[in-house]
Structure 1
Amino acid sequence: MKKLFSITIILTFCQIMAAAQTIDPKKKAKQAAENRANTKVEKGIEKGLDKVEEGIGKLFKKKGKKNGVEGDQRTEEENNGNARNTQSSHINKKASDFVAGTNILFQDDFLLDPEGDFPAKWNTNGSGEVVKINGINGKWLEVKHSSIITPEIKGTLPKNYTIEFDLFLQQRGSLSIPRIDFGLTPVKDILREDLYYREKFFVTIARYNEADAKTVEYGLKDVIGNKNDFPLTRYVNKVLHISMAVNDTRIRIYLDGNKLIDLPRALTPAIRSHFFVNNVYTVPASEVGLLISNVQIAAAETDKRSALVTQLMETGSATTNAILFDVNKDIIKPASYEVIGEIGEAMQQNAQLKILIVGHTDSDGDAGANKMLSQKRAMAVKNHMINKYNIAASRIQTEGKGESLAVASNTTPEGKAKNRRVEFIKL
């Protein structure tokens, strides 16, 4: 009887503590303790109290932010432990054939824009603001419900180009999430022209927080098809990299390096003129924003995948901006593997070919640190070629020039993007 009285007091304490918090896991902890009471009472209660303590600790560790993103998002460590996706669980497909354009037309990571402002290089028919996400590098543009954004670019986009950007598929508790559309349109001034009634090419990512969500829709004004084999739920509260390749009438769409859409006759010169992103009007309205960053648009002269090798063999050197790395690191982004593979395959076919790989950076940060970083990045490319294509290490030399040989001004994001490059020189 005395033991039962003690248990009752402890469970009552759990109820009081759970009611005082706003985090649902306390209720789950109490329920779990009650369910186990018949078999392992003391052990179940002990675990329940541990959960209460843990929840209280986490509550006091969070910090609020006026923009509603940083304070409400889980930290990167929490995401790594609790989110439904990891880097190792991506769908298993062949290496991406995406090749980024080399002539940078537009680049924006919002680092020059103050938090809370709408970014200077974009236009909108609604609202948005630059924010930070707790545990995620850089700044992000949070696009509000029923708002469309377009980058400010002079003229129209060329016949052949690529677009790359990151989305953060945000979820905060039970708040409704956005329906995300992105694509191409004839509309230049989104503030004065109505996108809805115009012909356009678009891709839709929606309901990504639902169990087993896998459907990505696409269309021309109206939906014309879908792909239902991409695991969107694995990217909840994670970064999803999007790549688009336009070659005249052809459009290819890649999610995290996986080609989902390849339509050879989808585009017209008018449709491929401008890029847009839309937090679509829905009922109920989205209560969390669409988050986008690291946008880069680059012209591509042709659709030939061997252009880099041709340039190397004919002129003795070739330079590319399409080999990308994590910020301030020598970790190669998976989207870059195809470009490196062109050189790797050429070296496999020509046993006499020897090369020098030279890394270059922009001028951000310390000059000495930039030189060391460029050396490490050149070495990372070499190691990838050795490990992936079995190229003898003696056939590849590396060097890092840091910021010393700039090919463009380092005063603009576009210029900095051009200076961050990898050069291959035939020896």
Structure 2
Amino acid sequence: MEFKTGAMEVVEFEGGQRALKASSSSDIIIPLPELLPDRYTIELDVISRAGQGVGASTLHVGGGRERDNTFSELHWGHGGFYLRGGPVQVDLDTKDRERYLGKPASFRILGDGKYLKAYVDEKRLVNVPNALFKRDKAVIVRLEGRDDDKDAVYLTRIRVAESQKTIYDALSADGRWATQGILFDTGKSEVKPESTPTLKQIAAALKEHPELKVEIQGHTDNVGKADANLKLSQARAEAVKSSLTGEYGVSGDQLSAKGYGDTKPSGDNKSAEGRANNRRVELVKQ
């Protein structure tokens, strides 16, 4: 990360979390090892200004080392979302702006060719088919902070990465998607809290595509008795379904749940790595 302009400092919150604090309109550069790929993800965790006296957005994100209005630039804050520059202009007001005043939020950009999607806290803001985000060896981020604690902007995390195949893409192309990101204690069927990011990802895909119906499959390794593994895998599949419908608002009509125990291994049960790969949850398109 490179400082470009403005007034910024690293601060530490109670509990040890560190953040980059912007107390003026400040620009940082995120250098990349190569050109931004055709499919990419940009994620920023920020804490917006606590007051409403400043009309500027919380952050701006664009490609390259300099702001260039011939290319698309994304602006977001408690007042709304705006797409500026390039061939398309978008203005969206925020209805629940108090939700973001002085509070953390996760802003995410997904690019795929000219397609550009933006999300805040897993809620999709926009899907633009003909944006023009600059492909370069850097990303520029502006934080619109001001010179007091109430109107400072804090950046707690930033990530730029090449996007992998989405859940929907995998289901469309392969008919199935497997994950080891849904976690359980040994011999238990309660979904662990560490599973939240994966469950959010699954829920977002299903809610974005309400026509999609999937079977949630539970799979185990071959350690223990086969009938016990079958029962456990069924309980785990049902627990995932219950989490998606009860906690994340996915329609139950889109989901079924079935456990297969150790009958469909994806790896060799003779090795620890193979057994780990066999302990999985899969979504199978119906």
The match for 1:318 among 164, 178, 184 is: 178
Corresponding residue of 1:384: 243
Corresponding residue of 1:345: 213
Corresponding residue of 2:196: 332
Q: Secondary structure at the match of 2:214?
A: helix
Corresponding residue of 1:203: 74
1:267 CA drift (Å): 1.4
For the 8 Å contact 1:356–1:426, the answer to whether it is kept is no
For the 8 Å contact 1:150–1:275, the answer to whether it is kept is yes
After superposition, the Cα gap between the structure-2 partners of 1:304 and 1:384, relative to the gap in structure 1 and judged at 3 Å, is closer
CA–CA distance in structure 2, aligned partners of residues 380 and 293 of structure 1:
32
After superposition, the Cα gap between the structure-2 partners of 1:146 and 1:236, relative to the gap in structure 1 and judged at 3 Å, is closer
Corresponding residue of 1:241: 106
After superposition, the Cα gap between the structure-2 partners of 1:155 and 1:378, relative to the gap in structure 1 and judged at 3 Å, is farther
After superposition, the Cα gap between the structure-2 partners of 1:257 and 1:304, relative to the gap in structure 1 and judged at 3 Å, is closer
After superposition, the Cα gap between the structure-2 partners of 1:286 and 1:311, relative to the gap in structure 1 and judged at 3 Å, is farther
For the 8 Å contact 2:42–2:159, the answer to whether it is kept is yes
The match for 2:41 among 156, 162, 171 is: 162
Query: By percentage of residues, which structure has more strand?
Result: 2
Q: Secondary structure at the match of 1:306?
A: helix
For the 8 Å contact 1:130–1:140, the answer to whether it is kept is yes
Q: Select the structure of larger CA radius of gyration.
A: 1
1:275 CA drift (Å): 2.6
After superposition, the Cα gap between the structure-2 partners of 1:273 and 1:320, relative to the gap in structure 1 and judged at 3 Å, is farther
1:370-409 equivalences in 2 (<5 Å): 381=240, 383-385=242-244, 388=250, 389=252, 395=259
Corresponding residue of 2:9: 129
Q: Secondary structure at the match of 1:164?
A: strand
1:251 CA drift (Å): 0.8
Amino acid at match of 1:346: V
Corresponding residue of 2:281: 424
Amino acid at match of 2:120: L
1:177 CA drift (Å): 8.4
1:346 CA drift (Å): 2.1
Amino acid at match of 2:27: I
Instruction: Calculate percent identity across the aligned residue pairs.
Output: 17
1:261-276 equivalences in 2 (<5 Å): 261-267=126-132, 270-271=134-135, 274-276=138-140
After superposition, give the CA deviation of every residue in 1:233-280 in whole Å (9 maximum; x if it has no partner). 221121112121101011111122222222211115x44664332024
TM-score, with structure 2 as normaliser: 0.62
Corresponding residue of 1:300: 163
Corresponding residue of 2:22: 143
Q: Secondary structure at the match of 2:196?
A: coil
For the 8 Å contact 1:149–1:278, the answer to whether it is kept is yes
CA–CA distance in structure 1, aligned partners of residues 131 and 97 of structure 2:
25
For the 8 Å contact 1:184–1:202, the answer to whether it is kept is yes
CA–CA distance in structure 2, aligned partners of residues 233 and 426 of structure 1:
36
For the 8 Å contact 1:309–1:318, the answer to whether it is kept is no
CA–CA distance in structure 1, aligned partners of residues 140 and 237 of structure 2:
35
1:175 CA drift (Å): 8.4
After superposition, give the CA deviation of every residue in 1:161-188 in whole Å (9 maximum; x if it has no partner). 122222111327x98686433222232x
CA–CA distance in structure 1, aligned partners of residues 27 and 239 of structure 2:
39
After superposition, the Cα gap between the structure-2 partners of 1:426 and 1:200, relative to the gap in structure 1 and judged at 3 Å, is closer
CA–CA distance in structure 2, aligned partners of residues 384 and 309 of structure 1:
24
Q: Secondary structure at the match of 1:165?
A: strand
Amino acid at match of 1:298: A
1:304 CA drift (Å): 7.7
Aligned length: 236
TM-score, with structure 1 as normaliser: 0.44
For the 8 Å contact 1:251–1:263, the answer to whether it is kept is yes
After superposition, the Cα gap between the structure-2 partners of 1:198 and 1:177, relative to the gap in structure 1 and judged at 3 Å, is closer
Q: What value does the CA root-mean-square deviation take over the aligned residues?
A: 4.4
For the 8 Å contact 2:86–2:132, the answer to whether it is kept is no
